[in-house]
Amino acid sequence: MENERANIVVIMAGYKDHMDRFFQDVPGLSSRIAHHIDFPDYSIEEITEIARLMAQQQRYRFSEDAERAFQDYMKLRMDQPRFANGRSARNALDRARMRQAIRLFEDAKGRELTKKDLVTIEAEDILKSRVFEGGYYQAKNADSAEES
């Protein structure tokens, strides 16, 4: 690699604490990396905007209450292990869509659903997350990748 350094670009990405540990575990590697760039985590507003854009791309929308609930969810989620910025927003949106589908199925008996019903994620679709019950990380499932 040293002979081809002008022709090679290697990008290693990860959260700062994990990358710091990685470089500590592999002596000499850090000095071989010319540039270390740290990017800050997204703010609540930025993560909410990411989720809003993802929802729009999938032809969904948040109600006003759902958007506030999503922000509350993210504030709690950010303090938990394995929070993953945009990926956590995407996973939370996927779960909210699943809860919305279940809610519509259970509530729709005997009534016709409107397009607005089908495309709107409501606060209850987010507030059913275990994050609002005090979190989900416990000793028995601390190895799980993400909250439900």
Any idea where the domains of the chain sit in the sequence?
A: 2-32, 44-141
Angle between helices 44-57 and 64-78 (to 10 degrees): 130
The residue with greater pLDDT, 54 or 13, is 54
Q: What does pTM read for this prediction?
A: 0.74
- Which residues neighbour 97 within 8 Å (Cβ) at sequence distance 6 or greater? 58, 60, 121, 125
Distance CA 91, CA 2 (A): 40
Average pLDDT for 28-48:
86
Position 143 pLDDT exceeds 90: no
Distance CA 126, CA 144 (A): 20
Q: What is the pLDDT of residue 140?
A: 37
Q: Dihedral (C-alpha) 79, 146, 137, 13: value to the nearest 10 degrees?
A: -50
CATH 1.10.8.60 assigned to 44-141: yes
Q: What is the pLDDT of residue 135?
A: 60
- 76-114: per-residue pLDDT in tens? 998 888 888 889 999 999 999 999 999 999 987 878 999
Indicate the pLDDT class of residue 139, thresholds 50, 70 and 90.
Answer: very low
Angle between helices 86-107 and 64-78 (to 10 degrees): 130
- Which residues neighbour 35 within 8 Å (Cβ) at sequence distance 6 or greater? none
